[in-house]
Structure 1
């Protein structure tokens, strides 16, 4: 008997590749199988998953596609692994929601978690763990997920794995420490040279391939990119031939933050100065290497840490002073405030506020003063309301939120001025501070009304909230417009909805609550 080959539904595959949801629906309704395969044995579900077309993944699953069926000539490729390997979190979620086994291994031993960890996709890792992926299963190289994440340099993934009790802390710490002292770019280049070049070339040296050889890759050019993401810096090195990318590698660089996280999880307590040096090597208060060190010190809440932070604030180096102020901000906020650090830190911070000029330092000091919750610090904070750095001006607005008493002319005037700032983030923060301030002067009301038509919807929503709190009738049409126009998943819509609790007229409130967003 002659075997008739199964039909290849090219139109379905084309629609899936093009993310044409309506076409996929039509083809499925007309009889195209949800488990169609191409001439190489690739399944249509795998094609949708590996390309991150989550809506089509859901359609195919609803039409009967098996989430655990292998794809390819040997059936060794899994839809869940294909989605996880490329960081398609919503496709991963869709597969897990219908019963895909999170720990199913592909042909070469990879699980979805092993892929997501090694590729650095923190959101995907989080979803896999939420659906029961085992954080103790090693990958095909034998490395536990925590060790692989430490090698990768992804602090967010390490943080997530630790929250799920992942084992291997000591090995992961040794791995992270070994990377912390390396020149990561050089390591990546050498790995590429070994794979694609004619051997290593010293930095700045020449190779027979000409100018391209100075990168250690004879006959090739390389491009290096540093991308700030996920609380750290991802280093990408791409190999080009005749201007066309032919290979590349990437490496995250949050190893100092990972060392700090793992030390805490293991109960280790390095000296404060050692943690400070990690932050100072990073030099960027926005990155995990800095913030994890500051948070770890603040959690100690002891005199040794406080004294070290005060000493750093008195240092002549603005970066070290910034770190000291950030540690003091954390030590004097929340539960640590009960230790009495606030009163002891206040003179240090006020003096630093008078002297500071560097933008990062001023932001740190302003924040540290703001968390004291004491209106007496307002002059020290408001002196920086005209700082040239918009991040500082925004920090001022955030710091004085809830501190400006009714009738405090300087505070209200500063907030009104900041609410007219050229930077949208400054205006939004100032509008919020003005909205929740107890001052109900005509000047405050008019300043809020002036922002109802602000091009930044968050600023407009904060202004509407401020007027609603003051029972000003101008809030109602503004809230109506925001609830119609704004994205229901966005911050402006959320603020407008929250503002409805201040609309006391029941009929008006009920009408606004029933407004349907245009989206």
Structure 2
């Protein structure tokens, strides 16, 4: 039977099993029931939750799957999401207006489950539930631009993000958790990228009252660098939430506070966060502070300082130019990649072109990609120098598809004779990943009607 003749419900069950987000959306668009049962007799949303597949879970709930559907064991898909400790899956399964949709008893059941996991800890709770001993298996998982530990023990697997889950549920159910408690949750984790800290930052950034702001700011003087680092990260996060939620009454005060803080901070990790927060603002002193710290012994400080140079598109001063040329030889690859990004969409002098060509042959793939992006965009209408085209052709041989896209795009817009071969090497481009990428659009246009002379 042809694929388009298979009933939509059956296609949805198979797409969820295969973790194929595009196929899930296609089946739902064809009329599949988002609550259709799989081979285990449970709604397919349970399979997405159990597989930590937040993208598929989001598609199902968006199209009408019921996160509160009672299951034979007395749970619901939403309760199972809380149990598994995934911040991303919880966000996908919460659905619309959970504070209004759920009654007090169900809200407390969810909160109680999250509190219990968080208080006990993932490993200890798995041991209690299964009777298994030992540390189990552990993986560090990237989730929603953060990290979380995934623990497997006694035949069960969970993610240790129950602090983030609890914080999210409290905020969702209109519970104003004390600032000190949220900060304590955040700094309990040694990794700044842990989902627990990210959830606390996000919730605090959505509380635009003066008391919350002042309570968080008080930690900038804390003797423990972890607390100061959290405060600096908060000042970045609160510029990433919807503008209406930013406490505008403190914006100017924040900018000056950060500038003074950057000049005084002695801990490298904290200073990097402070500079990152300044980068989110249009403070006139940011570039001067970046120049001051560009040679800092902490590599993360140098990385953020590099990103601050020439921010806002202002022409490079002689001092900034000299600093960029020096940083292009830095031992830390993200610094060299940052130099390449600072040169993107800039008029390239011979000096900067030589820097980018050198970085395009760097030993680190991230640096080569960043340099290729800058070269591909550089004076694309008239920069057809053999060296630049050769560098782009080399990029089109990279293992990373993003690099092949950049290389092929650069050759296409230059009408280079190697464009056809480079475009072939790009391979299929997932639409959901490249739909807003102008370089992919140029490649698609070339495939449908272009030639080796350009589009």
TM-score between the two structures when normalised by the length of structure 1: 0.67
1:236 matched residue in structure 2: 151
Once the two structures are TM-superposed, the CA of residue 153 in structure 1 deviates from its matched residue by: 0.8
Q: 1:178 aligns with which of 94, 100, 116?
A: 116
Higher relative contact order (CA 8 A, sep 6+): 2
3-state DSSP of counterpart to 1:468: coil
Q: Name the residue aligned to 1:405.
A: 314
Task: Report the counterpart of residue 358 of structure 2 in structure 1.
Answer: 450
Partner residue of 1:142 out of 74, 79, 83 = 74
Q: Which runs of 5+ in 1 are unaligned?
A: 1-33, 35-59, 70-78, 198-214, 216-220, 239-246
Q: Is the partner of 1:490 in helix, strand or coil?
A: helix
From the superposition, tell whether residues 223 and 288 of structure 1 become closer, same or farther in structure 2 (CA, over 3 Å). closer
- Is the partner of 1:181 in helix, strand or coil? helix
Could you tell me whether the CA contact under 8 Å between 1:146 and 1:158 is conserved in 2? yes
- The SS at the match of 2:130 is helix
Structure with the higher helix share, 1 or 2: 2
State whether structure 2 residue 280 is matched by structure 1 residue 368.
no
Deviation of 1:424 after TM superposition, in Å, equals 3.7
Structure with max Cα Rg: 1
CA distance in 2, matches of 1:102, 1:422: 52
Higher mean Cα deviation, 303-312 or 160-169? Answer: 160-169
Q: CA RMSD in A?
A: 3.8
Work out the CA distance in 2 between the residues paired with 1:106 and 1:472.
Answer: 56
The question of whether the paired residues in 2 share the 8 Å contact of 1:154 and 1:252 is answered with yes
The answer to whether structure 1 residue 477 and structure 2 residue 389 are counterparts is yes
Give the paired residue count.
412
The equivalent residue for 2:205 is 298
Question: Is 1:380 equivalent to 2:281 in the alignment?
Answer: no
Gap change, CA 1:340 and 1:508, over 3 Å in 2:
farther
State the 1:324 CA deviation: 0.8
Report the CA distance between 1:258 and its aligned residue. Answer: 1.6
Q: How far has the Cα of 1:328 moved from its partner?
A: 2.0
Q: Aligned equivalents of 1:393 and 1:340: distance in 2?
A: 32
Do structure 1's residue 323 and structure 2's residue 323 form an aligned pair?
no
Aligned counterparts of 2:231 and 2:397: Cα–Cα separation in 1: 44
1:248 matched to 2:155: yes
Residue 227 of structure 1 aligns with which residue?
140
Aligned match for 1:468, one of 359, 370, 379: 379
In the other structure, the counterpart of 2:259 is 350
Partner of 1:188: 126
**1:161-195 CA-partner distances (Å, limit 9, x unpaired):** 235555547232332122221132111123232xx
Offset from partner CA, 1:196-242 (integer Å, 9 cap, x none):
x6xxxxxxxxxxxxxxxxx3xxxxx664424233234234244xxxx
Q: Could you tell me how far apart the structure 1 residues matched to 2:411 and 2:39 are? A: 55
The alpha-carbon deviation at position 441 of structure 1 amounts to 4.9
Q: What's the counterpart of residue 203 of structure 1?
A: none
Give the C-alpha shift of residue 367 in structure 1: 0.6
Query: CA 1:140–1:386 in structure 2 vs 1: closer, same or farther (change >3 Å)?
Result: farther
Deviation string, structure 1 residues 443-491 (Cα, Å, up to 9, x no partner): 3343234334445342232330463279644486258627854689626
Does 1:435 pair with 2:348?
A: no
Query: Which stretch shifts more, 450-459 or 144-153?
Result: 450-459
| Residue 9 of structure 2 corresponds to residue 61 of structure 1 | no
Using the TM superposition, give the Cα deviation of residue 379 of structure 1 relative to its aligned residue in structure 2, in angstroms. 2.5
